[in-house]
Amino acid sequence: MVFGQKASSHAAFVQATHYGVSVLAADQTELVQRFSSYKGDRFAGVATETGITGCPLIAGAVAQFECKVRSRHDEGDHLIMVGEVVHCTHTQANALVYHKRTVHSL
């Protein structure tokens, strides 16, 4: 996972022992802009569920990965986190893919 050190969630990730990754479903396109922004509380008003590791996961996602932080690396103005997947779930729904600055559904 890579994110900017100016991100509002930076402090939380520096201290976290686990993190979650949610693969958005085709009907969740409005969340792409929300979560790609550096401003505000990205989770405000978003339906979430708590994973087995305590991480917030986006409800209705096609796949959810819960990871244990293995290492952190500062690189320029970004933090790179390497994680080990400890739990995952998935559905058969269509996923979103961001390619060439456009959101597509698989």
Q: Which residues contact 52 (CB under 8 A, 6 or more apart)?
A: 66, 87
Residue 27 has pLDDT above 70, yes or no: yes
Condensed to tens digits (0 to 9), the pLDDT of residues 28-73 reads 998 987 887 667 788 889 999 999 999 999 999 999 999 999 999 9
How would residue 22 be classed by pLDDT, with cut points 50, 70 and 90? very high
Higher pLDDT, 48 or 104: 48
* Number of compact structural domains in the chain: 1
What is the number of other CB atoms lying within 10 angstroms of the CB of residue 48? 15
Q: What is the pLDDT of residue 66?
A: 97
Of the CA atoms within 13 Å of residue 25, those in its CB half-sphere come to 13
CATH code where residue 33 lies: 2.30.110.10
Instruction: Check pLDDT > 70 for residue 1.
Output: no
